[in-house]
Amino acid sequence: MFEYTDLFQRGVGDTTDIVQKEMYTFEDRGGRSLTLRPEGTASVVRAFVEHKLFGRPNQPTKLFYIGPMFRYERPQSGRMRQFTQFGVEALGSSDPAIDAEVIALAMTFYRQLGLKNLKLVLNSLGDPESRKAHREALIAHFKPSIHEFCKDCQNRLEKNPLRILDCKVDHDHPLMASAPSITDYLNPASHDYFEQVKAILDDMGIAYELDPTLVRGLDYYNHTTFEIMGASFGAITTLTGGGRYNGLVSELGGPETPGVGFALSIERLLLALEAEKVTSTNTERLDCFVAAIGDKAKQKTPGILYNLRRAGLSAERDYMDRKVKAQFKQADRLLAKFVIVIGDEELEKQAANVKNMATGEQQEVSISELVDYLRSNIK
Ligand code: HAM
Which amino acid is present at 148? E
Number of other residues whose CB lies within 10 A of the CB of residue 56: 10
87 touches ligand 1 (CB under 6 Å): yes
Q: What span, in angstroms and rounded, lies between the C-alpha atoms of 43 and 41?
A: 5
The radius of gyration computed from the CA coordinates of the chain, to the nearest angstrom, equals 27
Ligand 1 centroid distance, CA of 271 (Å): 15
Burial level of 52, CB count in 10 A (0-12/13-18/19+)? exposed
Q: Which fold has domain 2-127+187-275?
A: BirA Bifunctional Protein; domain 2 (3.30.930)
Q: Coil, helix or strand for 150? A: coil
| CATH code for the domain defined by 288-377 | 3.40.50.800
In 247-360, at which residue ranges do the beta strands (DSSP E only) sit? 259-265, 288-292, 315-317, 338-342, 351-356
Q: Whole-angstrom Cα distance, residue 318 to residue 294?
A: 12
Query: In this structure, which residue's CA is closest to atom 18 in ligand 1?
Result: 79
Q: Is the CB of 79 under 6 A from ligand 1?
A: yes
Check pocket membership of 262 for ligand 1, CB cut-off 6 A: yes
CA 20 to chain centre: 25
How many other CB atoms are found less than 10 A from the CB of residue 184? 11
Contact 87, 262 (CB under 8 A): yes
The answer for residues whose C-beta is within 8 angstroms of residue 261's C-beta and 6 or more apart is: 41, 44, 87, 88, 89, 90, 102, 242, 243, 245
Q: Can you tell me whether residue 267 is helix, strand or coil?
A: helix
Q: Whose CA is nearest to atom 10 of ligand 1?
A: 240
**Angle of the 128-142 helix axis to the 151-159 helix axis, nearest 10:** 140
Mutate to test the pocket of ligand 1, among 23, 83, 98, 248 (most ligand atoms within 8 A of CB): 83
Residue 371 CA to ligand 1 centre (angstroms): 44
Is the CB of 73 inside a 6 Å radius of any atom of ligand 1?
yes
Report which DSSP code applies to 72.
Answer: -
Nearest residue to 128 via CA among 186, 211, 57: 186
Sheet strands (E) in 93-221:
119-124, 209-210
The CB of 217 under 6 Å from ligand 1? The reply is yes
pTM, to two decimals: 0.85
Q: Is 220 in the pocket of ligand 1 (CB under 6 A)?
A: no
What's the burial of 201, exposed, middle or buried (CB within 10 Å: 0-12/13-18/19+)? buried
Q: What is the pLDDT along the chain (379 residues), one digit of tens a residue?
A: 999 999 999 999 988 889 999 999 999 999 999 999 999 999 999 999 999 999 999 999 999 999 999 999 999 999 999 999 999 999 999 999 999 999 999 999 999 999 999 999 999 999 999 999 999 999 999 999 999 999 999 999 999 999 898 888 888 999 999 999 999 999 999 999 999 999 999 999 999 999 998 989 899 999 999 999 997 777 778 999 999 999 999 999 999 999 999 999 999 999 999 999 998 766 688 999 999 999 999 999 999 999 999 999 999 999 999 999 999 999 999 999 999 999 988 899 999 999 999 999 999 999 999 999 999 998 7
Question: Closest Cα to residue 91, out of 51, 61, 123, 128?
Answer: 61
Does ligand 1 lie within 6 Å of residue 84's CB atom? Answer: no
- Exposed (0-12), middle (13-18) or buried (19+): which is 121, by Cβ within 10 Å? middle
User: Can you tell me the distance from the alpha carbon of 243 to that of 99, in angstroms, rounded to the nearest whole number?
Assistant: 7
Ligand 1 atom with the shortest distance to the CA of 40: 27
Nearest CA to ligand 1 atom 25: 39
pLDDT at 281: 60
242: Cβ below 6 Å to ligand 1? yes
Q: What is the pLDDT of residue 282?
A: 64
- Every domain of the chain and the residues it spans: 2-127+187-275, 288-377
- Write out the E strands in the chain: 2-4, 24-27, 33-36, 61-70, 82-91, 119-124, 209-210, 222-233, 236-244, 259-265, 288-292, 315-317, 338-342, 351-356, 362-366
CB 115 within 8 A of CB 278: yes
- Which pLDDT belongs to residue 379? 76
